A and B are shown apart, each in its own frame.
Chain A
Amino acid sequence: DQQVKQNSPSLSVQEGRISILNCDYTNSMFDYFLWYKKYPAEGPTFLISISSIKDKNEDGRFTVFLNKSAKHLSLHIVPSQPGDSAVYFCAAIQGAQKLVFGQGTRLTINP
């Protein structure tokens, strides 16, 4: 049972434009959400998080939006840079327990 889903396996964006990565979840008890970035042969690196009591969190070029009624969150990266090319994972937590990850979206930033 895939509780966290990233339905787009890949995304290609031109440098300088906005990248939007999407994530859907099914468990309404999730109360904390995170985005991780992963390069090949490395562990995931934490990017940004959001609590379920908020609908937006911003950190520099990265903004995460949460729509609880739709059970949907998204990560916006603007402007996109070549170094942003990586696999992005959405993760969710219920009650300070384990993280549940989506399948990942491979983002490619084209010059």
Chain B
Amino acid sequence: DTGVSQNPRHKITKRGQNVTFRCDPISEHNRLYWYRQTLGQGPEFLTYFQNEAQLEKSRLLSDRFSAERPKGSFSTLEIQRTEQGDSAMYLCASSSVSGMNTEAFFGQGTRLTVV
């Protein structure tokens, strides 16, 4: 399977705990995005990387959220001290950017439930 892979698919955690999600992009893609989606809404942008550089972070991304992409390959998204409002589907996407717009391909997402 050469698509975008996200792990875990589902995560249930108690409020206040830390969680970490992993995304493995399509191997030749240099750009990686994180989005969050709640019921009835479109995906909301969180952050994106070009290779290992984090180019933009949304205002939605509080200090409790941190993302990394060491060596420009896989990426992790960590949420510290989770709150019930963090419950959502977290989506990762990757694309190949060579100075032109191109399609982003999404993984199947990680469903987070904070209880």
Contacts and interface: CB of A to CB of B under 8 A. Distances in A.
B105 A46 contact: yes
Interface stretch (B11-19, B78-86, B93-101): B93-101
Contact of B33 (A6, A32, A98): A98
A98 B40 contact: no
Interface string A58-97: 0000000000000000000000000000000101010011
Interface residues of B, number: 28
B104 A32 contact: no
Contact of B41 (A51, A99, A100, A104): A104
A29 interface: no
A93 B42 contact: no
A96 B100 contact: yes
Interface centre among B35, B43, B44, B108 (most CB of A within 10 A): B43
B56 A97 contact: yes
Given A42-B108, A44-B91, A101 B103 contact: no
Top 5 nearest A-B pairs (CB, nearest first) are: A32-B101, A101-B42, A43-B106, A46-B103, A43-B108
Interface of A: 4, 6, 9, 31-32, 34, 36, 41-46, 49, 51, 89, 91, 93, 96-104
Interface of B: 4, 6, 33, 35, 40-45, 48, 55-56, 91, 93, 97, 99-109, 111
27 contacts: A4-B42, A34-B103, A34-B104, A36-B106, A41-B109, A42-B108, A43-B6, A43-B93, A43-B108, A44-B91, A45-B106, A46-B103, A49-B101, A51-B101, A91-B42, A96-B99, A96-B100, A96-B101, A97-B55, A98-B48, A99-B43, A99-B104, A100-B45, A101-B35, A101-B42, A101-B43, A102-B42
